Copies of this chain bind each other. A is one copy, B any other.
Amino acid sequence: MKTEIRFSGLGGQGIITAAVILGRAAALYAGKHVVQTQSYGPEARGGASASAVIISDEPIYYPKVTNPDIYAIMSEEAYKKYGSSAPSDALMLIDPGFVSSRPSCKYYEVPATASAKEKLGKTVFANVVMLGGILEATKVVSYEALEKAVLDSVPKGTEEANKKALEIGREIIRSQQK
C-alpha cells in the first residue's frame, strides 16, 4: 500500500509545511515509511510552490513522486502544472478562491483560504484547513496522528486555532459528501 500526495500553490500558502506535517503524521504517529520532498527551480522565485509526500507500508526506494493519488491545489498556475494531467482515478482538493479550472477526476472544493480568514481571522491557517480536508476525504492517516503532527509543528499559542482549522477542513468535506 503506497499513497502519493502532491501539494501545490503559491509561496506563502504553507504548501511545504503542509507536506512536512503530513509526512510527520504518517512517519512518527502512524508507523509508515515516508519520503517528503520539495523540488524548486529558479522559477520558484515567481511564486510557485510544490511539495509531495509518499506514504508506504514498505521501505521506499524510488523517492520521486510520479503519479500522485491525491492532489491539494491552491493556485490556478499549480493546477495547470500539476492538476491538469492528473489521472482519472486521482482525488483532488482545490481551493476555489484560487483555482478556476476543474478536473475530470473526483474532486472537492475546499475554500481553505476564505474559511481560514472568515473563521480564524488569518489566511495563514489555510494549509491546515486543507490538511483537515485531506484527512476527511482520504483517511490516509488517522485524526489522532495528524493532530499530533500539527501540534508538534505550529508556533506556540496557535494550537487551538490550528485544531479548529483541521476541523473546518473536515467539515467542508463532510458537507460535500452528504
| Residues on A facing B (Cβ under 8 Å) | 11, 16, 20, 23-24, 27-29, 31-42, 44-45, 59-60, 62-64, 155
- Inter-chain contacts of A16 with B (CB < 8 A): 20
A36–B37 CB distance below 8 A: yes
How many copies of this chain does one complex carry? 2
Summarize A's interface: helix, strand, loop or mixed: mixed
Assembly CA distance A23 to B20 (angstroms): 14
Chain B CB within 10 A, most for which of A44, A62, A155: A44
Chain B residue at minimum C-beta to C-beta distance from A44: B27
Give the distance to chain B from A34, nearest Cβ to Cβ, in Å: 5
A158 to B43, CA, bound (A): 29
A41 to B33, CA, bound (A): 4
Neighbouring B residues of A40 by C-beta, 8 Å: 23-24, 27-28, 33-36
